[in-house]
């Protein structure tokens, strides 16, 4: 029996989620740097692999909670391009855990309307992983719920250079001229073009760095860093991050006063839109 995430939710948890959604506007896109698996294991005198294994439990819980909350996009940093420099043994454990995750979770993800995507230099992954990954992506391609993107063999700089190369090629073929290049066009060449920019970027394990993650896309992301190690990070910790996010003021270079005016304008246009809709349903006098 496949677990239906909406039906099988504890009352206390759904109450907490309702409270959050009524509190303000949730992020459309959450990006996470899942860090600290190794330290989690070392603290317990366990091999690093045990930390990675336990980290999967956190992935499962965070994916489920994000879907229940109606978050549009969740992008998780699972393996960086720099992680190829780790010992062979650790890489091979990570790859087999990734394979297991995809095999074990795909039915439940699909049944809960999750669309799976991946970004990164995917052809660097072992062939069996590539095969399972592309099958999972294909199978869930038409799903309309949460878009879960795995960043695998990913590097923000690599993706930027890739985009520049593609743009240069298009320019050489005469499909665009240098004057056409602006931020909007540039973004369409990135592997993340299928998603909005992350509103909230979470990093676990207390490290204060981006480690080459979503460098272009996170220009205006709100950053939340917690000392919790990834295997300890669960839905209640996500709720804390969301609460913290919703209490921030995103100013995009403007002043607080300007933002208040912008927000009033936005809510007024939403009100008048609602009024127009309502008036079409109200009986004519």
Question: Smaller CB distance to ligand IPE: residue 159 or 167?
Answer: 159
Using the rule CB under 6 A, is 36 a contact of ligand IPE? yes
Burial 39-56 (b: 16+ CB within 10 A, else e): bbbeeeeeebbbbbbbbb
Consecutive H or E run containing 256: helix 256-281
Using the rule CB under 6 A, is 57 a contact of ligand IPE? no
Using the rule CB under 6 A, is 83 a contact of ligand IPE? yes
Three-state helix/strand/coil letters over 142-183: CCCCCEEEEEEEECHHHHHHHHHHHHHHHHHCCCCCHHHCCH
Using the rule CB under 5 A, is 35 a contact of Mg ion? yes
CB of 204 within 8 A of CB of 35?
Answer: yes
- Give the tokens for residue 101: 């995750």
Question: Smaller CB distance to ligand IPE: residue 84 or 220?
Answer: 84
DSSP assigned state of 140 = T
* Catalytic residue selected from 3, 4, 37, 83: 83
Is residue 260 annotated as part of the catalytic site, yes or no?
no
Is residue 83 annotated as part of the catalytic site, yes or no?
yes
Using the rule CB under 5 A, is 237 a contact of Mg ion? no
Residues 101-140 within binding reach of ligand IPE (CB under 6 A): none
Closest separation in Å from C-beta 114 to ligand IPE: 20
Question: Smaller CB distance to Mg ion: residue 51 or 145?
Answer: 51
Q: Can you give the binding site for Mg ion, defined by CB under 5 A? A: 35
User: Which residues are known catalytic residues?
Assistant: 35, 83
């Amino acid at each position: 029996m496949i677990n239906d995430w909406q039906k099988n939710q504890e009352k206390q948890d759904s109450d907490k989620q309702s409270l959050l959604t009524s509190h303000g506007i949730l992020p459309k896109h959450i990006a996470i740097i899942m860090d600290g698996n190794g330290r989690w294991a070392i603290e317990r005198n366990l091999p690093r692999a045990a930390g990675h294994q336990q980290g999967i439990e956190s992935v499962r819980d965070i994916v489920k909670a994000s879907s229940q909350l109606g978050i549009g996009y969740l992008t998780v940093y699972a393996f960086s391009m720099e992680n190829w420099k780790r010992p062979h043994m650790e890489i091979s454990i990570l790859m087999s855990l990734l394979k297991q995750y995809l095999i074990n979770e795909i039915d439940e993800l699909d049944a809960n309307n999750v669309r799976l995507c991946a970004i990164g230099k995917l052809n660097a992954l072992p062939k069996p992983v590539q095969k399972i990954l592309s099958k999972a992506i294909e199978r869930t391609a038409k799903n309309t719920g949460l878009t879960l993107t795995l960043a695998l063999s990913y590097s923000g700089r690599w993706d930027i250079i890739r985009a520049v190369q593609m743009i240069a090629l298009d320019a050489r073929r005469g499909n665009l001229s240098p004057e056409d290049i602006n931020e909007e066009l540039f973004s369409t060449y990135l592997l993340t073009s299928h998603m909005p920019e992350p509103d909230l970027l979470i990093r676990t394990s207390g490290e204060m760095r981006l480690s080459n993650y979503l460098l272009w896309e996170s220009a205006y992301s709100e950053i939340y860093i917690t000392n919790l190690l990834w295997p300890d990070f669960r839905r209640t910790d996500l709720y804390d991050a969301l609460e913290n996010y919703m209490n921030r003021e995103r100013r995009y270079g403007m002043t607080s006063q300007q933002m208040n005016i912008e927000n009033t304008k936005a809510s007024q246009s939403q009100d008048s839109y609602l009024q127009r809709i309502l008036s079409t349903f109200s009986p004519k006098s």
